């Protein structure tokens, strides 16, 4: 049907028309914008994770409040060796210092993911994407619906064919939480560790309870995001790793 119509159109739309008819499904499962921002974010997240862990080992001790150092009591320690020999870790050796490039890459990846995220969120709001794809629909806004989706997840029920074209309720809620709670908090707590930023906006660090609290919050939100990533990949695996992954690369569901 679309082929028949496309013959009456100018050349450029005819090409676009024939492409869409070849796909059979005019709207891709994931728009080009979603696919690009997804993989950019994934790349940045991995860079942030590796460099973040690298920076942590130069001082694997966490505190609450404004200040904290090896002379003050800890909130908790991570039982790993350190890249600094003044940190008492119980290990008899010191790891090499890799903080220089780790910090540079951490900030560069942060800039890229924040700008990507900003672009994604603004276009998601204005295109109606969030309303259409992520906001729970009328039938989903009930405790019953939530319990049903939880039950099917706990039973590890394999998703049906129709599920490949939309997100389920638990998926929507976790994506919304990551997008609008975890990401803002990890950005905020990260910025609160910048002394120059704190000079310009002292409330950002004071509201979190001080510099060391900000660092501890940054750590915990990062751990949460890592858990999200692992569960996300596990769920993708469960739903069919290649079909879902190819859908996020080409936009098509095979």
Partner 1 sequence: MSGSSTQNSRRRLITGGLAAVAGATGLGVAARLAKKYGLVPPDGGGIYGPGETLNYMTQRVLARHSKAREFSKNQISKPPFANEIAKPSDEFKRLQAGGFADWRLTIDGLVERPGTFSVAQLRSYPSRGHITELACEEGWSYIAEWNGVPLSHVLDVVGVKPQAKFVVYISMEPNTWDSIDIDEAQHPQTLIAYGMNDKDLPVAHGGPLRMRVPRQLGYKNVKFINHLTVTDDIKKFGKGQGSVASEFGYKWFAGI
* Site track for partner 1 across 210-249, x = CB under 8 A: -xx--x----------------------------------
Stretch that binds partner 1, among 99-107, 133-141, 163-171, 172-180 (CB under 8 A): 99-107
Among 43, 81, 99, 248, binds partner 1 (CB under 8 A): 99
User: Does position 69 bind partner 1 by CB under 8 A?
Assistant: yes
- 219 or 238: CB nearest partner 1: 219
User: Site residues for partner 1, window 106-145 (CB under 8 A)?
Assistant: 107-111
Site size for partner 1 (CB under 8 A): 56
Binding of partner 1 by 168 (CB under 8 A): no
Residue 7 touching partner 1 (CB under 8 A)? no
- Which residues have a Cβ under 8 Å from the Cβ of 55 and sit 6 or more positions away? 99, 102, 103, 106
Give the DSSP per-residue string, 7-62.
TTS-HHHHHHHHHHHHHSSSS-SS-HHHHHHHHHHHHHHHHHHHHHHHHHTTS-EE
Tell me whether residue 169 or residue 205 sits nearer to partner 1 (CB atom): 205
Give the span between the Cα atoms of 124 and 30, in whole angstroms. 12
Structure tokens at 189: 């707590």
Crossing angle between the packed helical segments 211-250 and 32-56, to the nearest 10 degrees: 140
Range in contact with partner 1 (rule: CB under 8 A) among 133-141, 144-152, 166-174, 203-211: 203-211
Measured CA to CA in angstroms, residue 179 lies from 116, 147, 184, 226, 243 at distances of 12, 23, 8, 14, 24
* Residue 72 found at the interface with partner 1 (CB under 8 A): yes
Nearer to partner 1, 172 or 218 (CB): 218
Of 21 and 174, which has the nearer Cβ to partner 1? 21
Q: What is the DSSP string of 174-193?
A: HHHHIIIIIHHHHHHHHHTT
Of 44, 46, 197, the C-alpha closest to 110 is 44
Query: Which residues form the interface with partner 1 (CB under 8 A)?
Result: 1-2, 5-6, 9, 12-13, 16-17, 20-21, 26-27, 55-56, 58-59, 61, 66-72, 84-86, 97-101, 103-105, 107-111, 193-202, 205-206, 211-212, 215
């Amino acid at each position: 049907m679309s082929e028949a119509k496309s013959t009456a159109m100018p050349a450029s739309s005819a090409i676009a028309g024939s492409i869409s008819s070849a796909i059979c499904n005019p709207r891709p499962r994931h728009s080009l914008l979603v696919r690009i921002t997804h993989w950019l974010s994934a790349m940045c997240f991995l860079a942030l994770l590796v460099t973040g862990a690298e920076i942590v080992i130069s001082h694997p001790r966490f505190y609450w409040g404004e200040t904290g150092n090896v002379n003050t009591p800890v909130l908790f320690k991570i039982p790993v060796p350190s890249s600094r020999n003044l940190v008492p870790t119980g290990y008899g050796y010191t790891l090499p210092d890799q903080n220089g490039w780790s910090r540079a890459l951490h900030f560069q990846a942060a800039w890229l993911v924040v700008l990507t995220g900003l672009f994604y969120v603004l276009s998601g709001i204005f295109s109606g994407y969030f309303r259409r794809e992520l906001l729970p629909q009328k039938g989903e806004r009930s405790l019953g619906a939530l319990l049903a989706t939880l039950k099917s997840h706990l039973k590890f029920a394999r998703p049906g064919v129709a599920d490949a074209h939309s997100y389920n309720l638990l998926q929507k809620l976790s994506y919304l939480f990551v997008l609008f709670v975890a990401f803002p908090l990890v950005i905020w707590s990260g910025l609160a560790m910048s002394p120059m930023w704190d000079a310009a906006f002292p409330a950002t660090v004071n509201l979190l309870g001080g510099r060391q609290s900000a660092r501890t919050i940054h750590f915990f939100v990062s751990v949460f995001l890592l858990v999200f990533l692992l569960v996300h990949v596990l769920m993708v695996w469960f739903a069919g790793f290649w079909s879902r992954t190819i859908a996020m690369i080409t936009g098509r569901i095979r």
